Chain A
Amino acid sequence: MSESAIAVLPTSAASRPVSTVNDSLTMAARCLRLSRRNIEALMTSLTLPVMLMLLFVYLFGGAIDTGTKYVTYVVPGVVLLCAGFGSAQTAVSVTQDMAGGIVDRFRSMDIGGSAVLGGHVVASVVRNFASTILVFGVAFLIGFRPHASALDWLGVVGVLLVFVVAFSWLATAIGVLAKSPEAASGFTFLMMFLPYPSSAFVPVNTMPSWIHGFARHQPTTPVIETIRGLLLGTPVGSSWWQALAWCAGILAVSVGLATVLFQRRTA
C-alpha cells in the first residue's frame, strides 16, 4: 500500500479525532511496509497455518473421527489458529518500536499513543485478512466444502474481525509491556497453543475430563464454534454471544492496559 492511497487533507485545523485516524492510517501503512519486508516473519505467518492444516488433515485426520469429513471439521480451527498467531505477532513489532527511539520522535510530533498503537492493530487486521484468505483458498483446494449463505460468510468475517481486533490489542498491550522482542515473541508462542485445548482440532468430549472445563470455556472455543456453525449450517446456539462477550472483554481490558502502559513506559 502506498501512502498516496490514503487521502489526508493538509489540515492544521483538523480536529484531534480526525487527525488521530489519519495518523493511525499512516502508521498502519508504515507497519504493513515493514512487515512486507520482514521476509522471515511474513513467510512464517503465511505458511505456518497452511502447513498445520495439511498436517492435521493428511497426517492426523485419518485417525480422528469427528462425524464429518475431517477437513470440514478442522478448517474453522485452523483459521482461528492463524488469526490468533497473526494477531500475536503484533506484540513483536510493537516491542521493536518501543525499544527504538521512534516512539519518542512520534510523541514529540504530537502523534499520540492511540495512533501509534492503533496503526499496529490496523496493520494486523490487514495482514490477517491476507493470511486467512490464503488458508481458506488452500482449504477449498483440499476439499473443504462449506454450506454457507452470503449472510453466513458475512457473519464469519465479522466474528473473525472482532477476534483479530481484540487479540491484536491484547498483543499490543503485551508488546508495550515486554522489554525485548524475544520476550514479546513468547506471547506468539502462547497464542499458537491456545487453540489446542479447545474444540479446534478434536471434539472436547474426547479429551480427558479434567480439561473439559477449560476447553469449553476458554475464549477461542466459542469463536471456533460460531465460525463452524456459520460455515457448516450446524446450530450456533449461544456460542456467538459468548464469542462476542469474550472479545469485547479482552478488547476493553487490552485497550485500557495498552494505553496506560504506553503512558507509563514513555514517561
Chain B
Amino acid sequence: MNELMIEASGLTKAYGEVEVLAGVDLRVEQGSIFSLLGPNGAGKTTTVRILSTLIQPDGGRAMVAGHDVIAERHAVRRRISLTGQYAAVDDTQTGEENLRMMGRLCRMSGTQARRRAADLLERFDLTEAGRRRVATYSGGMRRRLDLAASLVGQPSVIFLDEPTTGLDPRSRQAMWDVITELVGSGVTIFLTTQYLDEADRLADRVAVLDGGRLVAEGSPAQLKARVAQQRLDMVFRDRPAFDAGARALGGRAVTTDTERLRIGVPTDGSAGQVRTLLDEIDPERLRVERFTVHTATLDDVFLALTGHAATQSDESEESDKESVNV
C-alpha cells in the first residue's frame, strides 16, 4: 500500500443548526484519483474546504501530505492546490499574465515564472490563447487555465471541486484527459463530482457522500458489483403499454421514466434471461418498442445505496448518454 496523502477521521461541521458533515472518514493513497460523489448539498465542498485548510472542522482531524490541516496549515498549503467551482482567474488579465502572477506568488523569479507559464500554456493547449484576455475564453478554456494556474507551484495534492460542472461534453472530455494525465506525474487528486459517469471514468476509488455521511466507498467496479451487473432498459410503445409493463415488473424495476416511457430491470445480461424477461413483460410482442442492455452505472449504485437518485435532472441526462454508448 502506498503512503496516505489524505487521512481524515470523524470530520464534522455544522453551520448553525444545519449539520453539513456528520463524521466523515477518508483515506487517499498517493498517486491516486479519489472521487467524492454526491448530490448538491451533500457536503462535498465543505469537505474540500476543510482538507484544503480554508475552514476548520468542528470535530475530527485530518492530515494532508503528512501535515495536520489545522495545526500545520501553512505546511499543508505549500503542498496542495485548490481549484474551486468558480474559475479563480482574472478576466481582464491575459492567460499568460494570470499564470505569471501565480508564479510570482509561488516565490519564483520573473524569468522562472515566465518559463513556467509558457510550459503550462503549452501543456493545456492554450499557447495561442495565452496572449488574449481571459474574458474572451470559452468555458472549457477558462477551466483549463484555472487548473493550469493551480499547478504553477507543483503541488503534490490537487483538490478539484466539481471540475466539469457546466461544461459542454467536448470540454468535459478535454478536462478528463488533462486530469488523467496529471496522475501520471505522481500527484494525488481529490475531486468532487455530482456526475456519476465522471467518478466512474476517472477515479481509482469513490466515496459516496449523502447528507454529510459516507454511505459507501470502494473502487467503481466494487461499488457497481453491489448492485446487479447489467441492466435491461425497455422503452414502451405508449402510456398504456408502459403502465402494463410497470405493473408486471412491480418492485423489480430499478428505474422508471414515465416521460420517456422507459423502465430498467436488473439482469445478468445473458441472452436467455433477457429473452425470458421480454417474453414475460410483452408476450404479444406489442408493448416494448426498443431495449438496451448495459453494465450497471453508478446511477444504479447511488439509487441502491441512498434510495434516491443523485440528482433529479441529471439522472435522465446521464441515462441518455448511456443508451447512446451501448
Contact = CB atoms under 8 A, between A and B. Distances in A.
A210 to B, nearest CB: 46
Interface residues of B, number: 40
Interface string A143-156: 00000000000000
A103 to B, nearest CB: 8
A8 B299 CA distance: 51
B107 A266 contact: no
Interface string B67-108: 000000010011011111111111011000100111011111
Contacts of A133: none
Given A8-B107, A30-B93, A267 B55 contact: yes
Contacts of A267: 54-56
Nearest to A14: B107
Interface residues of A, number: 32
Interface in B121-144: 133
A34 B86 contact: no
B251 to A, nearest CB: 45
Contacts, number: 89
Interface centre among A14, A23, A104, A111 (most CB of B within 10 A): A104
Nearest to A107: B54
A151 to B, nearest CB: 38
A74 B150 CA distance: 51
A26 interface: yes
Nearest to A266: B54
The DSSP consensus for interface residues of chain A is helix
A19 B93 CA distance: 23
A205 B107 CA distance: 56
A193 interface: no
Given A3-B113, A100-B86, A102-B90, A109 B100 contact: no
Interface string A1-32: 00110101111101000010011001001100
Given A3-B113, A105-B150, A110 B77 contact: yes
A206 interface: no
Interface of B: 49, 52-56, 74, 77-78, 80-90, 92-93, 97, 100-102, 104-110, 112-113, 133, 149-150, 153, 159
22 contacts: A3-B100, A6-B104, A8-B107, A11-B107, A12-B107, A33-B92, A33-B93, A33-B97, A34-B92, A37-B92, A37-B133, A100-B86, A100-B88, A101-B86, A104-B54, A104-B82, A104-B88, A105-B83, A107-B77, A108-B52, A108-B81, A109-B153
